[in-house]
Amino acid sequence: MENIAQHILKESKTIAVVGLSPRPDRPSHEVARYLQEQGYRIVPINPGMHGKQILGEVCFASLREAAAALAPKGVQIDMVDCFRKSEDIPPLAEDAIAIGARFLWLQLGVRNDNAVRRAEEAGLLAVQDKCTHIEHRRMAA
């Protein structure tokens, strides 16, 4: 039986990576690169890198900005993958809801039960304290 993490990974095509670092030695960069290599479209979200490129994709300052820029091209963000501190998650969950994302993913070590509950109440599937890279490898095994 498929778990929620596997379902999210199978159903996602475009992943906004919030907190994506341009530094290859950072976990967010490594995970995003892996996901990109697996065929996912990565949308970098990092205010400090706004307008620059990470992994060959234009970086946006916010989820709402990214969604607004991608919508005219017919691109919908499916998953919001968060590499941020647990206390930073509530506004990101609200943004994920606002842009019509279907999934909220909080990376290893990131937990915010209230934000996850809010996202789920709005109809998103959510996982927390799991790594997309690790879960994808498990799914592929």
The reported pTM is: 0.96
Q: Is the pLDDT of residue 16 over 90?
A: yes
Radius of gyration, CA atoms only, the chain: 14
pLDDT of 44? 98
Q: Which tens digit of pLDDT belongs to each residue from 24-68?
A: 999 999 999 999 999 999 999 999 999 999 999 999 999 999 999
In a 3-state reduction of DSSP, which class is residue 81?
A: strand
Q: Is the pLDDT of residue 1 over 70?
A: no
Q: Average pLDDT, whole number, for the chain?
A: 96
Q: Which domains does the chain have, with CATH numbers?
A: 4-140 (3.40.50.720)
Q: What is the dihedral of CA 25, 30, 31, 36, to 10 degrees?
A: 150
Q: Which tens digit of pLDDT belongs to each residue from 59-109?
A: 999 999 999 999 999 999 999 999 999 999 999 999 999 999 999 999 999
For residues 125 and 8, the answer to whether their CB atoms sit within 8 Å is yes
pLDDT of 2? 64
Q: Is the pLDDT of residue 140 over 50?
A: yes
